[in-house]
Amino acid sequence: PFIFSYKTTYDSNKYFDSIVINTISVTATADNKPESASGGAAIIIGNPPTQCFTFDDSWNSYPNLKNQLMGAIGELSKASIYMSTLCGAGQTITLSYSGINTGYAAEVIGSKILFHVFGLSLGSHGTFYTLAHETGHLYAAWVAGKYDQFKQNAGVRSEGFICTYLLNKTVAEDFPETIAIYAAKTSNTNNACLGNFKTQYPNHWQFAHDNIFYQDLGW
């Protein structure tokens, strides 16, 4: 184990009603093979805006998990075109927490995303991935034509389904998985089946870039 600490001062005149995301990235080389990983934590200052998301009372007993999810909203907001399209096409998205370990991460019920224990148990990145995936279901339902384009895209279909989704592999799950992996780069688990999304599933990546995000997001 290696432990270190650092201190950063935030100017209250700049950082009011803000989500500040601290990220650390590590690269290590073993047997001449470089491996990289990253992690992060969100610091909530005041009452930051949460796009078209709203939290219901189920989070009252879980303030740390709520902050973790607010950090994920901050990360997803970097995909500004995606978020403005999603929020402009639908309605308020209610975020709820079951507190139950169902074995899967979350589910969409109407305009509500219901998170379960697993969806928030793998830290900030797993929460970000789960949020992106579930909003992908709402995007498919609310943004006219995009899901149909995806279903009918021959290049996308030639690549099969993205391997990171471990439950029933269908087009209905492949679409939000494409959104989640494009935004988060990896899934909510260290699934060894996925190397580089852009090179392993180039048609999925290109569809997401050209038809959904319109931004590189660090690729």
17-43 per-position pLDDT tens digit: 877 777 778 888 988 888 777 666 667
CA distance 211 to 4: 42
Tell whether the model's pLDDT for residue 190 goes beyond 70.
no
Q: What is the mean pLDDT of residues 148-171?
A: 95
pLDDT score, position 107 = 97
DSSP state of 114: E
| Joined tokens for residue 189 | 């688990």
CA distance 32 to 42: 33
Average pLDDT of the chain, as a whole number: 91
Q: Return the higher-pLDDT residue of 214 and 21.
A: 214
pLDDT score, position 216 = 93
Q: Phi and psi (nearest 5°) for 55?
A: -100, 135
Q: What is the mean pLDDT of residues 152-169?
A: 94
| Strands annotated E in 31-174 | 33-45, 53-55, 93-97, 106-109, 112-115
Model confidence at 118, pLDDT cuts 50, 70, 90, reads very high
146 contacts: CB under 8 Å, gap ≥ 6: 139, 140, 211, 212
Q: What is the pTM of this model?
A: 0.84
Q: What is the mean pLDDT of residues 79-98?
A: 93
DSSP 3-state of 106? strand
Count of CB atoms within 10 A of residue 138's CB?
22
pLDDT score, position 39 = 67
Q: Return the higher-pLDDT residue of 81 and 34.
A: 81
Among candidate residues 158, 169, 179, 8, the one with its CA nearest the CA of residue 79: 179
73 contacts: CB under 8 Å, gap ≥ 6: 19, 50, 51, 53, 131
